[in-house]
Amino acid sequence: MARFQLRRRTVLISALVALVLAYCGLALVTSRWLAPERFDLTADRLYTLSTGTRQIIDNAHRPLWLTLYFSQHATKDLPQLRSYEQRVAEMLQEMVARSHGRIRLQIVDPVPYSDDEASAEGNGLTPVNGGSNGERIFFGLVGTTRPPNSDAAADLLADASDKSSGKLADRTLPIPFFDPGRETFLEYDIAKLLYQLSEAEKPRIGVITDLPVMGDPIQGTQAWTVMRQLQQLFDVQMINTDKLGQIDKSIEVLLLIHPQNLPANVQYALDQYVLRGGHLAVFVDPFAESDPAPLLDDATSATNNHSSNLPRLFADWGVGFSPDQIVLDRARALQIELAGANLAHPAMLGLGASELNRDDVITASLQRINVSTAGHFDLLPSASTRLIPLLQSSGDAEIVPTQRVIDASSNPTSLLDGYQSQNQNYVIAARLRGTFTSAFPEFAKRKGHLATSAPNAEVILVADTDLLTDRLWVETQSFLGQPMLTALANNGDFINNLVDNLSGSSALLSIRGRSSSQRPFTRVQGLKRAADRKFLQKQQELQSELADTKQRLDELQPSKNARDTSTSTEQKQEIEQFLRRELAISKELRDVQHQLNAEIDALGTRLKVLNIVALPLLIILGGLLYGWRRTRRNRRERT
């Protein structure tokens, strides 16, 4: 029996040693050669990549190198920014893990006067002031298709060789600064960078318009600033509508600006382009002030010749737009100079942050967009689509006939005569999303005709063309004989963001805003708000009693010509009574604060007990229960 027990003990010890060795070996193998399994238990799945992001990573055409620059020392006193840097780094690491080696990441601290700092600036990162000891803070990402430490001269030769051989040229793109205010679009911004790096060439953008957006070489006028900016980022192609039968599939985004009486074949081409999944942005206007055609005063015409519309397609899409109505908004009226006087123009609007959609990637980071004589969109009762506002008026807006605004061009303040706010936010720009049907069913027998689009197709609508013009958002100044442009509003950023968003892949467009990682202590905040209400009530009581007592003291003041001892005694008693009451209320205030702290401490204690004691106890109890049941089962088998 003793020999059996000794043998059993030897077997158990050997098994335990083998188990320890196996565990250590398994941990070493998994940490060295296998990717760790990750579980996202956050409420909003903050660390789970969306389907669109995974698709972009899986379809990356070539290796990518990412460098995250973050100033560690300069942010030592900025815990919120350091916490956000950890969020950004974790998101990048999740993408790197998904890429299986195709994406590589390094994190660099660009200390002052170092080569890393010079590299950060040279690659387009934007530093901000406010760091420790006055240091600048770098917090951005640089993505490249070449190894970051490769030789520059060799890279130039390689680029030339690649271009001559038809290979993909190397590209380097930055995210200049990670703004914590854009945290909800963090995944989108990084995925867009990866998508742009993996693409071979600039996206092609088509433009259909009769407005002089590209300038006039004969008159020596330049292209509008928005178009020059687009040409820096995209391959912009002007499309002639003469005999246009189909929009080229290579056009990734089509800008239709100021359409007037388009022929049926052009409208059909637009219709089929949208149904094929093309990305269309339509700019219409009840009164395009940039229209170079002479303004006709035709009383027989229902609309002026400076208006634009797309009635057949709009009706089919379920969109209502009237070229005979202009939005006035006295709360957002821009100040203009006319005949030497400064005045507010209620048809020229400066839309601020409260009028921009903060949940849409196009307008989330913009602060102001200026529009002029803009119209508005509505959904028709029969619409099956959704209208998601991007720009809208304030609630203090009014709709007036277009002709009234034209007649008031020499005296715009007259538009305020009889002004009646309609307490409605009018949609000036929006995403139109849904399943579109063809507005040309009579062409159903044509080869390649499409009757419906895919679900969640999208068109962007803007009820103003003047926002594209320089006069509303840029000012030209001369510096050392050279023209310098100063942006007065974010109109150019709005157009860039719009085209940038539409030109991405369907995977990129599917990435929506996320929740913020900053999780407030809602229970604690509720306790504090309740305590604040109690404090406010006590404070008001104290102030009321103070006022009453002062009034009573004034009534008890002795006359200037006589002294009354009884009045003085009553006054002293009144003061003593008030002081006692003041002390009592002060004690009540302290009791409320003490109760608040006690409730917060109790909540913290409960959380600690739950995390430190309760969960381990549950695990231990589960193990003991499992061991007990297994022991009973073994005993039954022996008997």
Alpha helices in 100-146 (DSSP H): 115-122
pLDDT of residue 163: 45
| pLDDT attached to residue 220 | 78
pLDDT tens digits along 454-476: 998 999 999 999 999 999 998 87
pLDDT at 164 over 50: no
User: Who wins on pLDDT, 213 or 1?
Assistant: 213
Residue 560 reports pLDDT greater than 50: no
For 223-242, the pLDDT digits (tens) are 999 999 899 878 999 999 98
- Within a 10 A sphere around the Cβ of 1, how many other Cβ atoms? 5
CA distance 594 to 222: 69
Residue 491 has pLDDT above 80, yes or no: yes
pLDDT in tens, 209-228: 999 999 987 777 889 999 99
Mean pLDDT throughout 267-281? 96
The DSSP secondary structure of 225-256, one letter per residue, reads HHHHHHHHHSEEEE---TT-----TTEEEEEE
Q: Distance (Å, rounded) from C-alpha 281 to C-alpha 227? A: 15
For 203-293+302-509, CATH number? 3.40.50.880
- 318-332 mean pLDDT: 96
What are the distances in angstroms from CA 394 to CA 329, 431, 467?
7, 19, 18
Chain segment 495-545, per-residue pLDDT in tens:
988 998 898 766 666 665 555 555 555 555 565 566 556 555 665 666 566
Task: Quote the CATH superfamily of domain 51-197.
Answer: Glutaredoxin (3.40.30.10)
Please state the rounded mean pLDDT for residues 97-106. 91
CA-to-CA distance for 130 and 48, rounded, in angstroms? 33
Nearest alpha carbon to residue 68 among 109, 102, 19, 36: 109
| Surface-to-core class of residue 398, CB atoms within 10 Å of its CB (0-12 exposed, 13-18 middle, 19+ buried) | buried
Which among 130-139, 143-152, 545-554, 565-574 has the top mean pLDDT? 130-139
Q: Is the pLDDT of residue 559 over 70?
A: no
Average of pLDDT values for 284-304? 80
Instruction: For residues 221 and 216, give the distance between their C-alpha atoms in angstroms, rounded to a whole number.
Output: 5
Q: What pLDDT was estimated at residue 72?
A: 93
What per-residue string of b and e applies to 326-352 under the rule 16 or more CB within 10 Å gives b?
bbbbbebbbeeeeeeeeeebbbbbbbe
Strand partners, 66: 105, 143
Q: How far apart are CA 112 and CA 302, in angstroms?
A: 66
Q: How far is CA 82 from CA 71, 105, 190, 424, in A?
A: 9, 18, 18, 42
| CB hemisphere CA count around 135 (13 angstroms) | 22
CA distance 461 to 464: 9
Q: Where do runs of H (alpha helix) occur along 123-241?
A: 152-165, 186-198, 225-233
**Tokens representing 299?**
């009383």
Six-digit token pair at 428? 């000036």
Instruction: Decide if pLDDT at 435 tops 90.
Output: yes
pLDDT for the residue numbered 92: 94
Residue 371: enclosing H or E segment and its boundaries?
A: strand 369-372
Do 256 and 280 meet the contact criterion of CB atoms below 8 Å apart? yes
Give the per-residue pLDDT at 144: 93
Residue 311 to residues 317, 384, 387, 579, 626, Cα–Cα distance (Å) = 10, 17, 17, 77, 72
Tell me if 460 sits within 8 A of 281, measured CB to CB.
yes
Closest CA to 305 of 313, 315, 297, 314: 297
User: pLDDT tens digits for 24-69?
Assistant: 777 666 655 554 555 555 555 666 788 888 888 888 878 999 999 9
Q: What is the pLDDT of residue 510?
A: 64
Q: How confident is the model at residue 376 (pLDDT cuts 50, 70, 90)?
A: very high
Higher-confidence position of 167 and 276: 276
pLDDT value of position 597: 65
pLDDT (average), residues 269-292: 96
Q: Classify residue 166 as left (phi > 0), alpha (psi -120 to 50) or beta.
A: left
Buried b (16+ CB within 10 A) or exposed e, 570-596: ebeeeeeebeeeeeeeeeebeebeeeb
Paired with 329 in beta bridges are 397
| 8 A C-beta contact, residue 371 and residue 428 | yes
CB-based contacts of 143, cutoff 8 Å, min separation 6:
64, 65, 66, 67, 172, 173, 174, 193, 194, 197
Q: Note the pLDDT of residue 171.
A: 82
**pLDDT of the residue at 161:** 45
Cross-strand pairs, 383: none
Reported confidence tier of residue 620, pLDDT bands at 50, 70, 90: confident
Instruction: Give the largest CA-CA distance in the chain.
Output: 118
Whether residue 414 is predicted with pLDDT greater than 60 in this model: the reply is yes
pLDDT over 70 at 195, yes or no: yes
Distance CA 455, CA 49 (A): 23
